[in-house]
Structure 1
Amino acid sequence: MGEKQLKREISLFGAFSTVMGTVIGAGVFFKTASVVSFAQSPSLTIFAWILGGVLTLCAGLTSAELATAIPKTGGAVKYIEYTYGKLPGFLLGWAQSVIYFPANIAALSIIFSTQFVHLFHLPDELLIPIALATGLSVTIVNLLGTKVAANLQSFTLVIKMVPIALIVLVGLFMPATAEVSLFPIKAGGDNSFIHALSGSLLATMFAYDGWLGVGAVAGEMKRPEKDLPKAIFLGLSFITVVYVLINFVFLKALPIEQLSGNLNAASEASSQIFGAMGGKLVTIGILISVYGALNGYTMTGIRVPYALALEEMIPFSQQFKKLSTRFVVPYVAGIFQFNIAAIMMLLGSFDLLTDMLVFVMWLFSLLIFGAVLILRKKEPELNRPYKVPFYPVIPIIAILGGLFILITTLFTQTLLASIGIGITLLGIPVYLLNKKIKAFKSK
């Protein structure tokens, strides 16, 4: 009943703002280092950001058809469950609970700590303790109630646009200190073009992450059939332009050798553009942006195991669906999520964690793109308030792009891909065990 009673109050601008707020996070500031380390050339770096934006646009437009046709709480989990069955749907929820959200929290905590240590010239030995304290502080904020977490999110949403705007607007008109050649598009160093392109493209996907949720507001839009595709197209196109411009500015400000693998590149480029004091102020803005992104993933993430527990789909469901008496928050899920993230902070690095979560999510994204094709054939009468334009071209582009990312990652980063697949497949015995426990209890 709750889903049918949602008020249709969101306008085109409201949906556009949601797209912007969902996708723009910390990746734009920190994935340049990884993209450049693979590309080793300005031309391929810029091309990777453009191609990443095109694939994200096709993915967003495709998945939004399911969001309007199957407007159920749970989003992507429900699309996959509806099309393929309970187990594949559960595996997405499992992967989100044990990989996607914890890895995001761990990666963002590490990047926050890296910038904090760099800004205040602290010893590197403090990097992990500060990362753990950062992740813990955001978890505590969320355990104090949804209103507190939502207020923090609203504040950081405004702040995170400030450093982006300053870097782009000022950086574009600053004289270049490094040469930027956009053509011909080629890989630098000893990398083959395919290896360089696949690695750099995978790296951009973390910055574009969030597109899967852009259709979630469909049920509350005044005219989803008209405004949703416009909001996705305008929002993701604008984000792509911003990402390309900010990376162009970084390439202008610093030599490519200084950008490659340097997680402090955004801070150092800001100092080059604005001077030492201005660079520090921009870095503080970036820190607030990262903290806000961390809060967003924490706030959303703790509700995934809670939602699975409500349907008795995971072991210890009675514990996971417990809500705190005073703040009405799924605190067990919050503690569980932070503990996994803390282990990841101790074992992983920013790029390792983000590449693994992107790889795993694109596995399920392919299922979602395929579901659009399957349901068009299997259920042509299904009510679709919005249909993906230029069908089947856009879904096929999304599928081909996803396959390229997955196959090349499988060959170029085999261990990373294997770990992601392995942890995801661990969900199968968990699902079957829980099913047996439920059957035993019902006797």
Structure 2
Amino acid sequence: MGETDLKKGVSGLTALTVVVGTVIGAGIFFKPTAVYGAAGSPGLGLIAWILGGVIAIAGGLTVAEIGTIYTETGGMMIYLEKVFGKWVGFLVGWAQMVVYFPANIAALAIIFATQIVSLFDLSESILVPIAVGTASFVIILNLLGTKYGGFIQNSATFLKLVPIAVIIVAGLAYSGGGVVRLFPISVADHPVVTSLGSALVATVFAYDGWMNVGTLAGEMKNPGKVLPKVIIGGLSIVMAVYILINIAYLFVLSPNELAATDTPAAAVAHGLFGNFGGKLVTIGILVSVFGGINGYTMSGLRIPYTLAKQNMLPFSHWFGKLHPKSAMPVNGGFVMLIISLIMILSGQFNQLTDLMVFVIWIFNTLTFAAVVKLRRTEPTLHRPYRVPLYPVVPIIAILGGLYIILNTLVVQPENAALGLLLTLAGIPVYLYCKKKNN
């Protein structure tokens, strides 16, 4: 059912807080390891954080246009189905079900377990069991009803800002730290083009969530005027926070030290506040990561159910069944849990996030292209909001997306091949369901 009757009750301030709260998650606490490991220098690392923000802003401004045209529930699935055909829209949902959401849940569960092991000086042999238990607990809790997941999400949204603020203030005031130098940009064994690309893939994960910005358009009184301000303002705030906290990191630890630790934010907190203070900040980071797992779980549970209601999955009746008490899609939730647990067994946080980024950015880039195609094929279509500086902004978004995709194909061909294989496995599923429905 379309959401054409949504109340126009979302203010600019509310939308701004949604943007900031959705995007700032666990990536800023853990991706410095991958960013500075790939970049090799503080200058190239900071450039990657800035470029990630610029691409996110360009992407948000572009997607918002198509979001004001097609306001039905489904987001990117609806956009691509309307412009490129039903099979492309199905592949988005399929990729979200088997790669995007499970990989996010698995990666964050691994990070949560890594923090627990570090906090309590436990054996790394129990890291995977902790991650498995965490992901299972969060998914099962959400299957009991939306009130449980909602409570966790609301609490974590506010609490996650505490360790960020503490690290930024204390890090910038740190008297024993070093100097952050932008030059030289490159160092030995780190070619600028591929190193920047790998670092950019890492920062893009930290900016993940901006795609949801356009879904607010249908509930705004004047989206054409408010939406660009919200996107530019919200993502600029996020980018400023990310740059400031990275400068704070670099005041305390060198790029090599950040690249060498699995828990960069906790290591910085330990350097700033000592053992006890560092553990307190680490607890705050744990709350943020737990909230991130919960957020992706809440959204991910709806994907198999949505596809099932369209009869686009084998055993759609089974996937689309709701629990009589919780009214939650339990069967689809358990399938997503199984996929997440298989991914957790790999134990690879950065590999999982790179896999997720590669797959979802294929569809992100297609969505940017869909905006350009609609301008050419449907020039008279009513657009409550138009991308500013068209076609420059969409081109920036498309080029940024292509750079991320091509760099992953070159630098991580096996990971890219796995992502493509899992995504294209949806084509025979689509053909089977289409034939069955006909």
The equivalent residue for 1:284 is: 283
The equivalent residue for 2:406 is: 407
> Separation in 2 of the partners of 1:323 and 1:429?
26
> Separation in 2 of the partners of 1:357 and 1:2?
28
The equivalent residue for 1:111 is: 111
> Separation in 2 of the partners of 1:365 and 1:279?
38
The equivalent residue for 1:158 is: 158
Residues 313 and 281 of structure 1, relative CA distance in 2, 3 Å threshold: same
1:4 Cα deviation after fit: 2.2
> Separation in 2 of the partners of 1:187 and 1:61?
31
User: SS of the counterpart of 1:325?
Assistant: coil
The equivalent residue for 2:385 is: 386
The equivalent residue for 2:254 is: 255
The equivalent residue for 1:307 is: 306
What letter corresponds to residue 40 of structure 1 in structure 2? G
The equivalent residue for 1:17 is: 17
User: SS of the counterpart of 1:260?
Assistant: helix
Indicate conservation of the 8 Å contact 1:36/1:261, yes or no.
no
What letter corresponds to residue 94 of structure 1 in structure 2? W
1:176 Cα deviation after fit: 4.5
Task: Provide Cα deviations, 1:387-439, integer angstroms capped at 9, x if missing partner.
Answer: 11000000001111111111121111111111111111111011111222223
Segments of 4+ moved more than 4 angstroms: none
Indicate conservation of the 8 Å contact 1:356/1:417, yes or no.
yes
Task: Provide Cα deviations, 1:256-301, integer angstroms capped at 9, x if missing partner.
Answer: 2211142211101011112221111110000000000100000000
Indicate conservation of the 8 Å contact 1:43/1:181, yes or no.
yes
Task: Provide Cα deviations, 1:305-341, integer angstroms capped at 9, x if missing partner.
Answer: 1001001011111011111111110111110111000
Deviating more after overlay: 16-25 vs 105-114: 16-25
TM-score (norm 1): 0.97
> Separation in 1 of the partners of 2:19 and 2:382?
24
What letter corresponds to residue 68 of structure 1 in structure 2? T
Deviating more after overlay: 303-312 vs 249-258: 249-258
Indicate conservation of the 8 Å contact 1:34/1:261, yes or no.
no
> Separation in 2 of the partners of 1:216 and 1:162?
28
1:348 Cα deviation after fit: 4.5
1:2 Cα deviation after fit: 5.6
Task: Provide Cα deviations, 1:104-134, integer angstroms capped at 9, x if missing partner.
Answer: 0000000000001100111000100000000
The equivalent residue for 2:353 is: 354
> Separation in 2 of the partners of 1:262 and 1:97?
31
Residues 271 and 348 of structure 1, relative CA distance in 2, 3 Å threshold: closer
Deviating more after overlay: 170-179 vs 193-202: 170-179
2:7 is the alignment partner of 1:7: yes
Residues 178 and 20 of structure 1, relative CA distance in 2, 3 Å threshold: same
> Separation in 2 of the partners of 1:188 and 1:425?
38
Task: Provide Cα deviations, 1:160-217, integer angstroms capped at 9, x if missing partner.
Answer: 1111111112211112523421134x22231211111111011101000111111111
> Separation in 1 of the partners of 2:392 and 2:260?
36
> Separation in 2 of the partners of 1:100 and 1:389?
30
Task: Provide Cα deviations, 1:117-162, integer angstroms capped at 9, x if missing partner.
Answer: 1001110001000000000110111011112111110111000111
Q: Show structure 2 runs of 5+ residues with no match.
A: none
> Separation in 2 of the partners of 1:261 and 1:432?
46
The equivalent residue for 1:231 is: 230
TM-score (norm 2): 0.98
> Separation in 2 of the partners of 1:381 and 1:158?
43
> Separation in 2 of the partners of 1:404 and 1:304?
28
2:373 is the alignment partner of 1:374: yes
2:190 is the alignment partner of 1:191: yes
**% identical aligned pairs:** 51
What letter corresponds to residue 158 of structure 2 in structure 1? V
User: SS of the counterpart of 1:174?
Assistant: coil
1:6 Cα deviation after fit: 1.2
> Separation in 2 of the partners of 1:70 and 1:230?
20
Number of corresponding residues: 438
1:253 Cα deviation after fit: 0.7
The equivalent residue for 2:324 is: 325
What letter corresponds to residue 399 of structure 1 in structure 2? I
